[in-house]
Amino acid sequence: MYFQHVYDKSLAQASYFIGCQKAGVALVIDPKRDVDTYLEIAKQNNMKITHIAETHIHADFLSGSRELALLTGAKLYLSDEGGEGWLYEFPHEGLKDGSVFKVGNLKLEVLHTPGHTPESISFLLTDTPASDKPVMLFTGDFVFVGDIGRPDLLEEAAGIIGTKEVGAKQMFKSIERFRELADYIQVWPGHGAGSACGKALGAVPSTTVGYEKVRNWALQHENDEQGFVKYLLEDQPEPPKYFAMMKKLNKVERPLLTEVPKLKKLSGQDLKAAMDKGVKVIDTRLKQDFAAGFIPGSINIQGNNAFATWMGWFLTYEEPFILIADESKHDDLVRKLMRIGLDNIYGYVPDVNVWTAQGGTLQKANVISLDEFKEILKTNHTQVVDLRGSSEYKAGHIKGADHVFIGTLEKNLSKIKKDQQVVIHCQAGDRASIGYSLLAKHGFNNVKNYSGGINEWVNAGNGVVSES
DSSP 191-210: B-TT-TT-SS--SSS-EEHH
261 domain-assigned: no
Spell out the alpha helix ranges (H) of 277-350.
287-292, 307-314, 330-338
The residue that leads in pLDDT, 284 or 224, is 284
- Range 405-419 average pLDDT: 96
- Range 176-202 average pLDDT: 87
262 domain-assigned: no
Number of domains, the chain: 3
Instruction: Please report, for the domain that includes residue 138, its CATH number.
Output: 3.60.15.10
Q: What pLDDT band is residue 379 in, cutting at 50, 70 and 90? A: confident
Report the chain's mean pLDDT, rounded to a whole number: 95
Shared-domain flag, residues 152 and 97: yes
In angstroms, the CA 118 to CA 97 distance is 12
Which pLDDT score is estimated for 197? 67
41 domain-assigned: yes
Shared-domain flag, residues 68 and 157: yes
Tell me phi and psi for residue 413, to 5 degrees.
-60, -25
Shared-domain flag, residues 304 and 390: no
- Range 297-325 average pLDDT: 97
Q: Are 58 and 66 in contact (CB under 8 A)?
A: no
87 domain-assigned: yes
Domain hosting 306: range is 268-356
263 domain-assigned: no
Q: What pLDDT band is residue 13 in, cutting at 50, 70 and 90? A: very high
Q: What pLDDT band is residue 159 in, cutting at 50, 70 and 90? A: low
Question: How many CB atoms neighbour CB 467 within 10 A?
Answer: 10
What residue type is 287 in one-letter code? K
260 domain-assigned: no
Shared-domain flag, residues 286 and 401: no
Nearest CA to 156 out of 90, 86, 238, 217 is that of 238
Q: What pLDDT band is residue 203 in, cutting at 50, 70 and 90? A: confident
Q: Which of 322, 356, 390 is the last residue of a domain?
A: 356
Tell me phi and psi for residue 165, to 5 degrees.
-70, -40
Shared-domain flag, residues 320 and 391: no
Instruction: Please report, for the domain that includes residue 294, its CATH number.
Output: 3.40.250.10
Shared-domain flag, residues 34 and 164: yes
258 domain-assigned: no
107 domain-assigned: yes
Shared-domain flag, residues 352 and 453: no
Shared-domain flag, residues 222 and 309: no
Shared-domain flag, residues 213 and 66: yes
Which pLDDT score is estimated for 109? 98
Q: What pLDDT band is residue 161 in, cutting at 50, 70 and 90? A: low
What residue type is 166 in one-letter code? V
Q: What separation, in Å, do the N-terminal and C-terminal C-alpha atoms of the chain show?
A: 50
Q: Which of 315, 331, 356 is the last residue of a domain?
A: 356
For the cut 90, the answer to whether the pLDDT of residue 216 exceeds it is yes
Shared-domain flag, residues 68 and 194: yes
Shared-domain flag, residues 11 and 49: yes
In angstroms, the CA 466 to CA 446 distance is 28
Dump pLDDT digits (tens) for 44-91.
999 999 999 999 999 999 999 999 999 999 999 999 999 988 999 999
Q: Which of 192, 222, 249 is the last residue of a domain?
A: 249
For the cut 90, the answer to whether the pLDDT of residue 236 exceeds it is no
Shared-domain flag, residues 75 and 38: yes
Tell me phi and psi for residue 390, to 5 degrees.
-60, -45
- Range 162-179 average pLDDT: 92
What residue type is 187 in one-letter code? V
In angstroms, the CA 58 to CA 48 distance is 25
